[in-house]
Structure 1
Amino acid sequence: TAMSGSPIGVIDSISAAGGSITAAGWAYDPDTAASIPVHVYVDGVGAAYTAPNPRADFGAVYPAYGPNHGYYLNMATTPGTHNVCVYGI
Protein backbone atom coordinates (compact mmCIF):
# COMPACT_ATOMS: atom_id res chain seq x y z
CA THR A 1 0.00 0.00 0.00
CA ALA A 2 1.42 3.37 -1.00
CA MET A 3 1.67 6.06 1.63
CA SER A 4 0.46 9.59 1.01
CA GLY A 5 0.24 12.85 2.92
CA SER A 6 2.23 15.90 3.90
CA PRO A 7 6.05 16.00 3.95
CA ILE A 8 7.71 14.49 7.02
CA GLY A 9 11.15 15.31 8.40
CA VAL A 10 13.56 15.32 11.30
CA ILE A 11 16.10 17.89 12.43
CA ASP A 12 19.10 15.90 13.68
CA SER A 13 21.09 18.99 14.65
CA ILE A 14 21.27 22.76 14.46
CA SER A 15 24.57 24.43 15.31
CA ALA A 16 26.12 27.88 15.08
CA ALA A 17 29.78 28.69 14.49
CA GLY A 18 31.92 31.14 12.56
CA GLY A 19 29.09 33.40 11.39
CA SER A 20 26.82 30.63 10.12
CA ILE A 21 24.06 28.29 11.23
CA THR A 22 24.04 24.67 10.06
CA ALA A 23 20.97 22.40 10.09
CA ALA A 24 21.09 18.69 9.33
CA GLY A 25 18.46 15.97 9.11
CA TRP A 26 16.16 14.29 6.63
CA ALA A 27 12.86 15.07 4.88
CA TYR A 28 10.60 13.25 2.43
CA ASP A 29 7.14 13.47 0.91
CA PRO A 30 5.15 10.21 1.11
CA ASP A 31 3.68 11.07 -2.31
CA THR A 32 7.02 10.71 -4.15
CA ALA A 33 10.32 8.87 -3.92
CA ALA A 34 12.13 11.96 -5.30
CA SER A 35 14.18 14.28 -3.09
CA ILE A 36 12.09 17.23 -1.91
CA PRO A 37 12.79 20.92 -1.29
CA VAL A 38 13.66 21.98 2.25
CA HIS A 39 13.33 25.61 3.31
CA VAL A 40 15.34 27.03 6.20
CA TYR A 41 14.40 30.32 7.82
CA VAL A 42 16.72 32.23 10.14
CA ASP A 43 14.86 35.07 11.85
CA GLY A 44 12.21 34.94 9.12
CA VAL A 45 14.66 35.14 6.19
CA GLY A 46 14.48 31.98 4.11
CA ALA A 47 16.60 29.97 1.75
CA ALA A 48 15.54 26.99 -0.35
CA TYR A 49 17.56 23.80 -0.65
CA THR A 50 16.93 20.23 -1.76
CA ALA A 51 17.32 17.17 0.48
CA PRO A 52 19.26 14.82 -1.87
CA ASN A 53 22.06 13.61 0.40
CA PRO A 54 22.31 9.84 0.89
CA ARG A 55 21.21 8.60 4.33
CA ALA A 56 21.62 4.83 4.71
CA ASP A 57 19.62 4.96 7.96
CA PHE A 58 16.64 6.54 6.18
CA GLY A 59 16.83 4.12 3.26
CA ALA A 60 16.89 1.14 5.66
CA VAL A 61 13.68 2.27 7.37
CA TYR A 62 11.91 3.50 4.19
CA PRO A 63 13.31 1.29 1.37
CA ALA A 64 10.54 2.25 -1.09
CA TYR A 65 11.79 5.87 -0.98
CA GLY A 66 15.52 5.16 -1.19
CA PRO A 67 18.28 6.83 0.83
CA ASN A 68 18.50 10.24 -0.90
CA HIS A 69 16.52 12.38 1.54
CA GLY A 70 19.15 13.89 3.84
CA TYR A 71 19.97 17.57 4.10
CA TYR A 72 22.94 19.52 5.43
CA LEU A 73 22.24 23.23 5.12
CA ASN A 74 24.41 26.21 5.98
CA MET A 75 23.26 29.84 6.20
CA ALA A 76 25.36 32.91 7.01
CA THR A 77 24.26 34.89 10.06
CA THR A 78 25.42 37.38 12.65
CA PRO A 79 26.53 36.64 16.22
CA GLY A 80 23.76 36.34 18.81
CA THR A 81 20.50 34.48 19.35
CA HIS A 82 18.44 33.46 16.31
CA ASN A 83 15.15 31.72 15.55
CA VAL A 84 15.60 28.82 13.07
CA CYS A 85 12.73 27.01 11.30
CA VAL A 86 13.10 24.10 8.85
CA TYR A 87 10.26 23.00 6.56
CA GLY A 88 9.93 20.05 4.17
CA ILE A 89 8.05 21.34 1.13
Structure 2
Amino acid sequence: MQLEDIQHRKTRVRRPQSNGIDERLQRTLLDERFRVEGRRTWVEAIDEMQKPLDDYLATYNAKCPHQGRGLNGQTPSRQASTAPKNRPKQG
Protein backbone atom coordinates (compact mmCIF):
# COMPACT_ATOMS: atom_id res chain seq x y z
CA MET A 1 0.00 0.00 0.00
CA GLN A 2 2.92 2.31 0.63
CA LEU A 3 4.15 1.87 -2.94
CA GLU A 4 0.78 3.06 -4.27
CA ASP A 5 0.44 5.78 -1.60
CA ILE A 6 -2.77 4.23 -0.25
CA GLN A 7 -3.82 5.25 3.24
CA HIS A 8 -4.85 2.38 5.53
CA ARG A 9 -7.97 3.21 7.52
CA LYS A 10 -9.69 1.00 10.07
CA THR A 11 -13.36 0.68 10.95
CA ARG A 12 -15.14 -0.81 13.92
CA VAL A 13 -15.39 -4.60 13.86
CA ARG A 14 -18.70 -6.06 12.63
CA ARG A 15 -20.24 -2.70 11.85
CA PRO A 16 -21.90 -2.98 8.43
CA GLN A 17 -22.91 0.68 8.47
CA SER A 18 -19.28 1.73 8.16
CA ASN A 19 -17.83 -1.27 6.37
CA GLY A 20 -20.77 -2.88 4.58
CA ILE A 21 -19.09 -3.89 1.34
CA ASP A 22 -16.31 -5.81 3.08
CA GLU A 23 -18.71 -7.34 5.60
CA ARG A 24 -20.94 -8.56 2.75
CA LEU A 25 -17.99 -10.10 0.89
CA GLN A 26 -16.92 -11.94 4.03
CA ARG A 27 -20.45 -13.26 4.51
CA THR A 28 -20.60 -14.37 0.87
CA LEU A 29 -17.26 -16.17 1.21
CA LEU A 30 -18.49 -18.01 4.29
CA ASP A 31 -21.88 -18.92 2.81
CA GLU A 32 -20.82 -19.89 -0.70
CA ARG A 33 -17.40 -21.34 -0.12
CA PHE A 34 -16.06 -22.08 3.32
CA ARG A 35 -19.12 -23.39 5.12
CA VAL A 36 -19.75 -25.70 2.16
CA GLU A 37 -16.10 -26.68 1.69
CA GLY A 38 -15.63 -27.09 5.45
CA ARG A 39 -18.18 -29.89 5.45
CA ARG A 40 -16.22 -31.78 2.79
CA THR A 41 -12.59 -31.00 3.56
CA TRP A 42 -10.83 -30.63 6.88
CA VAL A 43 -7.90 -28.23 6.84
CA GLU A 44 -5.10 -28.34 9.37
CA ALA A 45 -3.57 -24.95 8.57
CA ILE A 46 -4.81 -21.66 7.19
CA ASP A 47 -2.38 -22.01 4.27
CA GLU A 48 -4.42 -24.95 2.99
CA MET A 49 -7.35 -22.60 2.41
CA GLN A 50 -5.42 -20.19 0.17
CA LYS A 51 -5.74 -22.12 -3.12
CA PRO A 52 -9.50 -22.71 -2.74
CA LEU A 53 -9.92 -19.03 -1.82
CA ASP A 54 -7.91 -17.87 -4.85
CA ASP A 55 -9.92 -20.16 -7.15
CA TYR A 56 -13.23 -18.96 -5.70
CA LEU A 57 -12.29 -15.28 -5.97
CA ALA A 58 -11.18 -15.71 -9.58
CA THR A 59 -14.59 -17.17 -10.43
CA TYR A 60 -16.47 -14.66 -8.26
CA ASN A 61 -14.78 -11.68 -9.92
CA ALA A 62 -14.68 -12.95 -13.51
CA LYS A 63 -17.88 -14.95 -14.00
CA CYS A 64 -20.48 -13.81 -11.44
CA PRO A 65 -22.46 -10.67 -12.35
CA HIS A 66 -22.85 -8.21 -9.47
CA GLN A 67 -25.69 -5.77 -8.85
CA GLY A 68 -24.20 -3.32 -6.36
CA ARG A 69 -21.91 -0.29 -6.40
CA GLY A 70 -22.43 0.74 -10.00
CA LEU A 71 -21.65 -2.63 -11.59
CA ASN A 72 -25.16 -2.92 -13.07
CA GLY A 73 -24.98 -6.64 -13.72
CA GLN A 74 -21.38 -6.70 -14.92
CA THR A 75 -18.63 -8.76 -13.39
CA PRO A 76 -16.01 -6.84 -11.39
CA SER A 77 -13.34 -7.93 -13.90
CA ARG A 78 -15.35 -6.53 -16.81
CA GLN A 79 -16.00 -3.26 -14.99
CA ALA A 80 -12.31 -2.88 -14.09
CA SER A 81 -11.20 -3.55 -17.66
CA THR A 82 -13.53 -0.89 -19.11
CA ALA A 83 -13.17 1.77 -16.39
CA PRO A 84 -10.76 4.67 -16.86
CA LYS A 85 -7.55 4.28 -14.93
CA ASN A 86 -7.37 6.57 -11.91
CA ARG A 87 -3.66 6.38 -11.32
CA PRO A 88 -1.54 9.40 -10.54
CA LYS A 89 0.87 10.46 -13.25
CA GLN A 90 4.45 9.38 -12.72
CA GLY A 91 6.77 12.30 -12.82
> Where on the TM-score scale, by shorter chain, does this alignment land: which range?
under 0.3
Q: By percentage of residues, which structure has more strand?
A: 1
- Greater relative contact order (CA < 8 Å, ≥ 6 in sequence): 1
Q: Which has the larger radius of gyration?
A: 2
Q: By percentage of residues, which structure has more helix?
A: 2
